[in-house]
């Protein structure tokens, strides 16, 4: 990306940009997209640092357990590990379905 060359293109950015383009013109999409990239969460997700991902995943697990305890326990019983799906979901800022 020309806006932040140190970040470059990361897989998943196109999902987010395309979704924004469905609802805004090109200029507003660019402004919105670059503002999102400037948030600490999105910058750390797009840089794909394992330490950052681990802390985000830990926080997700806590929030998941607090807000949906039965589902959380059900996933644990079935040994469903969301770690493999979360990065893809976060990279696309929830615009891609988790399958």
Rounded to 5°, the CA angle 12-83-87 comes to 15
Q: What is the pLDDT of residue 77?
A: 95
Residue 31 pLDDT class (50, 70, 90 cuts): very high
Q: How many residues does the chain have?
A: 99
Are 16 and 33 spatial neighbours (Cβ–Cβ below 8 Å)? yes
Gap between the Cα atoms of 7 and 96, Å rounded: 21
pLDDT given for residue 99 in this prediction:
53
pLDDT tens per residue, range 32-86? 988 988 888 888 877 777 788 888 889 989 999 999 999 999 999 999 888 877 8
Other CB atoms within a 10 A radius of the CB of residue 92 amount to 20
């Amino acid at each position: 990306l020309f806006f932040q060359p140190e970040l470059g293109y990361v897989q998943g950015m196109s999902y987010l940009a395309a979704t924004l383009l469905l609802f805004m013109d090109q200029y507003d999409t660019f402004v919105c997209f670059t503002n999102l990239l400037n948030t600490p969460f999105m910058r750390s997700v797009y840089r794909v640092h394992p330490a950052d991902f681990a802390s985000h995943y830990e926080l997700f697990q806590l929030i998941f357990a607090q807000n949906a305890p039965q589902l959380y326990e059900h996933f644990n019983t079935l040994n469903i590990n969301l770690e493999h799906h979360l990065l893809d979901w976060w990279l696309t800022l929830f615009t891609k379905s988790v399958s």
